């Protein structure tokens, strides 16, 4: 361990943070978190392949030692790739916000290997949590619970709650068992951009911003975890994901969900992280909400005005849709199109998660017909926003 610590420390010339964090993780008043970090050239930026099914113990041990020493380690989970940092290390946690360009109002999810560890992070573990944990952990479910006072303010965005999850991916499991401590691991992408469902995505999003990237191949779910808030009187679905609303209802009986909820980026209430501009390609994306043929009509009408629009075809099968969503958005973003059009999928099961991400990727904007006004609006967006 000592050799790794010192090798990392010798590489790790620390950049001046854009905000101040005290030893107990309190943020200073000048914390904005939006500051664009100049790429931290001193990070190790190591890349290791790892078996998704039976991760090599030496690789896992190395990754755990790096996390222990305050380094940032990107690793696969069943949802998307996470950028991991030791939860009790304020410097490592602030580095995660810097690497992602993430606002400090957006709290991080803590990942652990076992339910007993969750008890050290929360001040209450209600009956609903016991039942959901028994049914869905390890797995793509995040529970928001009253926080333990020792959890850093940076992690919770100074809220009275903390979000926790036990991931099921063998690499994430092995890593969390090896560390024995909680690891904050937001998606390993720049804030607001498309989440990474493969190691290649992490490289293109965060090159040079991590110390180690564990490549365990493409993730299986493809979209982020379901977030359920159990801190209030009635359970609330904050973010749809791999565990569906139907599955949650079957366990809880009562659960509320309002889709297309939007939170301001500058506040952390009432539902942090539900930002409108999220999961976005650089090419502007619009939802098409009308009959099947509308997309082709719009592409034609826009083409007539000299603007290349392209349809992002979401697979009919909802599991496939979720798994391939971010790759499809990235592929479409890499074409010459000036505007991307996408039809939402069926709003049930994991389709809700797909539609939630599409809604935010489109910044809530949709076209419902092919009228002159709609075409004019689409043209204006394409011309103003296309890179
Ligand atoms: P990710 O960037 O995918 O790790 O997502 C983290 C998301 O979890 C945030 O953007 C929030 O939506 C949600 N979250 C984390 N902590 C809390 C919390 N204390 N209360 C409500 N939602 C939370
Ligand atoms: Mg994210």
Q: Is the pLDDT of residue 215 over 80?
A: yes
Out of 105, 122, 146, 227, mutate this one to test ligand 1's pocket (max ligand atoms within 8 Å of CB): namely 227
Span from the CA of 184 to the centroid of ligand 1 (angstroms): 11
pLDDT, tens only, 344-358: 999 999 999 999 999
Say what the pLDDT of residue 261 is. Answer: 77
CA distances from 21 to 90, 106, 203 (A): 7, 16, 28
Burial readout 203-218 (b: 16 or more C-beta within 10 A, e: otherwise): bebbeebbbbbbbbeb
Q: Is the pLDDT of residue 20 over 90?
A: no
- Which atom, in ligand 1's list, is nearest to the CA of 273? 10
pLDDT, tens only, 313-371: 999 999 999 999 999 999 999 999 999 999 999 999 999 999 999 999 999 999 999 99
Overall average pLDDT of the 273-295 stretch: 87
Say what the pLDDT of residue 104 is. Answer: 93
pLDDT, tens only, 143-183: 999 999 999 999 999 999 999 999 999 999 999 999 999 99
Host H or E run for residue 339: strand 339-342
Out of 79, 104, 107, 187, mutate this one to test ligand 1's pocket (max ligand atoms within 8 Å of CB): namely 107
What is the percent of the chain where pLDDT is above 90? Answer: 81
CA atoms within 13 A on the CB side of 246: 8
Best CA proximity match to 108, nearest among 57, 76, 147: 147
273 pLDDT band (50/70/90 cuts)? low
Out of 79, 82, 109, 187, mutate this one to test ligand 1's pocket (max ligand atoms within 8 Å of CB): namely 109
* CB-based pocket (< 6 A), ligand 1: 106-107, 109, 144, 156, 159, 161-163, 186-187, 224, 227, 229, 238-239, 272-274
Closest residue by CA, ligand 1 atom 22: 272
Q: What is the dihedral of CA 311, 315, 316, 321, to 10 degrees?
A: -120
Span from the CA of 227 to the centroid of ligand 2 (angstroms): 12
């Amino acid at each position: 361990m000592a050799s790794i610590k010192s090798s990392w420390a010798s590489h790790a010339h620390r950049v001046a943070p854009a905000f101040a964090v005290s030893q107990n993780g309190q943020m200073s008043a000048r914390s904005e978190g939006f500051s664009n970090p100049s790429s931290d050239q001193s990070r190790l930026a190591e890349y290791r392949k790892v078996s998704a099914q039976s991760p090599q113990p030496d690789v896992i041990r190395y990754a755990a030692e790096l996390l222990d020493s305050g380094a940032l380690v990107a690793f696969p989970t069943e949802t998307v790739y996470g950028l991991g940092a030791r939860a009790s290390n304020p410097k490592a946690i602030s580095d995660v916000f810097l690497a992602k360009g993430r606002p400090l109002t957006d709290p991080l999810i803590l990942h652990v290997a076992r339910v007993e560890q969750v008890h050290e992070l929360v001040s209450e573990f209600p009956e609903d949590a016991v039942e959901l944990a028994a049914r869905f952990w390890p797995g793509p479910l995040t529970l928001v619970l009253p926080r333990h006072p020792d959890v850093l303010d940076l992690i919770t965005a100074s809220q009275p709650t903390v979000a926790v999850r036990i991931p099921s991916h063998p690499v994430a499991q092995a890593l969390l068992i090896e560390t024995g401590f909680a690891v904050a691991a937001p998606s390993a992408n720049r804030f607001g951009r498309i989440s990474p469902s493969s190691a290649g995505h992490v490289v293109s999003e965060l090159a040079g911003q991590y110390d180690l990237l564990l490549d365990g191949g493409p993730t299986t779910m493809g979209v982020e975890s379901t977030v359920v808030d159990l801190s209030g009187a009635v359970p609330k679905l904050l973010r749809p994901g791999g565990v569906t609303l139907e599955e949650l209802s079957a366990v809880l009986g009562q659960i509320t969900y309002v889709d297309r909820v939007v939170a301001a980026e500058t506040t952390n209430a009432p539902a942090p992280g539900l930002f409108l501009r999220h999961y976005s390609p650089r090419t502007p994306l619009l939802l098409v909400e009308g009959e099947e043929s509308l997309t082709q009509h719009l592409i034609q009408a826009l083409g007539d005005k000299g603007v290349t629009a392209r349809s992002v075809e979401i697979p009919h099968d909802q599991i496939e849709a979720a798994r391939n969503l971010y790759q499809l958005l990235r592929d479409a973003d890499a074409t010459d199109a000036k505007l991307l059009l996408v039809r939402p999928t069926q709003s049930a099961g994991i389709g809700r998660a797909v539609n939630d991400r599409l809604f935010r990727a489109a910044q809530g904007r949709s076209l419902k017909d092919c009228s002159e006004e709609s075409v004019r609006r689409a043209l204006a967006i394409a011309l103003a926003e296309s890179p």
